[in-house]
Amino acid sequence: MLEAATLGLDSLIETGASVVVLWELAGSHSNRQQAGLRIIGAAFAVLAVYLSAQSLWALATGHVARPSRAGIAWTAPPRW
C-alpha cells in the first residue's frame, strides 16, 4: 500500500513540475522563472522528506514489500 502511495505522490510531483515548466515557457518574465524554480524545488523537497520518512519507518518496523499481481503486471515488460 505504501509503495503505491509513494508512486502516486512521485508521479503527481513530476506532473506538477512539468506543468510549472510549461507555465514558465508560456511567459517571458524573469519573475515567472524564479517562481517556477521555487515551486519545483519545494515540490521535490517535500517528496524527499516524505521518502526519507517512509524509508526510516520501513527500516524501523522491518517492513518488507510483498509480491503482488498488480506489482508484477506493473513491472513486467510488454509482450509486443
Provide the domain count of the chain: 1
What cell does 42 get? Answer: 519545494
Determine what percent of the chain is predicted with pLDDT higher than 70: 89
Cα(35)–Cα(21) distance, integer angstroms:
11
Average pLDDT over residues 48-72: 87
Q: Does 36 map to a domain? A: yes
State whether the Cα torsion 30-35-38-40 is positive or negative: negative
Q: Does 80 map to a domain? A: no
3: pLDDT strictly greater than 70: no
Residue range of the domain that includes 70:
2-75
1: pLDDT strictly greater than 60: no
What cell does 54 get? Answer: 517512509
Mean pLDDT of the chain: 80
Decide if 13 contacts 43 (C-beta within 8 A): yes
pLDDT tens-digit profile of 23-41? 877 776 777 778 888 888 8
Decide if 54 contacts 2 (C-beta within 8 A): yes
Q: Does 29 map to a domain? A: yes
Q: Does 57 map to a domain? A: yes
pLDDT tens-digit profile of 58-69? 899 998 878 888
